[in-house]
A and B are shown apart, each in its own frame.
Chain A
């Protein structure tokens, strides 16, 4: 494995570690497992914007699987896939937009939202009686914690971590 690729891989691993630590800090815990954290998606978003969407998706999937291994919230077989590897993997889409951070962060978190939204719909379809407005509830529930997260992530990426996205510039910080 090439040195650069290896160092990128490890950078991803450490971003996942930071994301996991941040995910332990929950100012608000929603009732069904979702929560507003201290910007726990920022490391993954940042990593995707630094290294591109493909690597970002891989790191997102790894982060999702790690969340699953550490703090599982399992209520349905399909929900497991949608809420963990897929939802967090889609965060990597933020890498598609280069330095256009507002677009990147929004699309990444929107991807995660869609995955959780679908998972919520599937869960309620199989557990709740007919005739409920499943689409609305799932959107409202998932939006309730992802919207604040989106705001936190946007602010953090724009005002705190912007300089890290220009790759290699951070090397000058390192000594």
Chain B
């Protein structure tokens, strides 16, 4: 259970790392939607160029991005195969009852390219932005909606505290495990039911200590005059710079390209 790094963030100080998290979230979302605007291969020129430029700027090796594709390999392959065999059209090749058509090959490749771009594009966001920065970005982006009742601050506060306490609680789990082992608990043998049962003496103390910790932390925060999100100031204020402006302009060009490829060509 030890040494789990939370999130996929790779620290760095590239132009992409330095961008405001709000900029990155908004651009990633725009990028995802723009990918669905494109309706033929020529349109992919723009997102491909965009991704290559962003990757080079981020200084993150291609290895990490390819690694991000691995868990999605099944869905990528499935998409390809389904399209390859199920679309009717001009037959290129036949394997028994199945036939590969020209249209299927075209459609399959098209869909796979879109998926790969989508995955690489979004993983660029999580590779260059730490979870805590992303949370700050989410809070800031949700803030305008707090007028219609979206509890943006509470949401972000919960995420922030959770992120802060994941390592602490993992350590605590470890301690409890060792304490129970000292009392003769056995976690590693027996069938699945026995093992599941052996988890109970770990989870119960973990929950109890979490409830107690919540009370203590509430008291500590209250003594430091925490009074919710209103009028709260920050030590590190999110600030947009000319780099963010440049990123938005680049996204504007991407959007124009994608829209042009669909509606003009």
Contacts and interface: CB of A to CB of B under 8 A. Distances in A.
A128 B157 contact: no
Interface string A63-77: 101100111111111
A38 interface: yes
Interface in A107-133: 126-129, 131-132
What range describes how many residues of B lie at the interface? 35 or more
B158 A16 contact: yes
A11 B214 contact: yes
Contacts of B29: 77
Contact of B126 (A13, A32, A69, A156): A69
A32 B199 contact: no
Interface string B104-142: 100100010001001100110010000100110010000
Interface centre among B4, B163, B166, B204 (most CB of A within 10 A): B166
A27 to B, nearest CB: 8
B154 A9 contact: yes
Nearest to A167: B211
Contacts of A170: 208, 211
Contacts, number: 170
Contacts of B199: 38
Given A32-B74, A72-B123, A14 B162 contact: yes
B257 interface: no
Contacts of A15: 210
A1 B192 CA distance: 45
Interface in A15-67: 15-18, 20-21, 24-25, 31-33, 38, 43, 46, 58-59, 61-63, 65-66
Interface in B71-110: 71-72, 74-75, 79, 82-83, 86-87, 104, 107
Given A14-B161, A65-B159, A164 B207 contact: yes
A132 B211 CA distance: 48
Interface of A: 1, 3, 6-18, 20-21, 24-25, 31-33, 38, 43, 46, 58-59, 61-63, 65-66, 69-77, 80, 126-129, 131-132, 152, 156, 160-161, 164, 170-171, 173-174
Question: By DSSP majority rule, is chain A's interface helix, strand, loop, or mixed?
Answer: helix
Interface string B143-164: 0000000010011011111110
Nearest to A22: B203
Interface stretch (B48-56, B218-226, B237-245): B218-226
Interface string B21-49: 00000000100110010000000000000
Contacts of A69: 7, 126, 131, 134-135, 138, 159
B208 A58 contact: no
Contacts of A173: 208, 211
Given A6-B222, A13-B157, A16-B162, A73 B83 contact: no
25 contacts: A9-B154, A10-B221, A13-B161, A13-B165, A17-B166, A18-B210, A21-B166, A21-B169, A21-B170, A31-B74, A32-B72, A33-B72, A65-B138, A69-B126, A69-B134, A71-B8, A72-B126, A75-B72, A75-B75, A75-B119, A76-B118, A127-B83, A173-B211, A174-B208, A174-B211
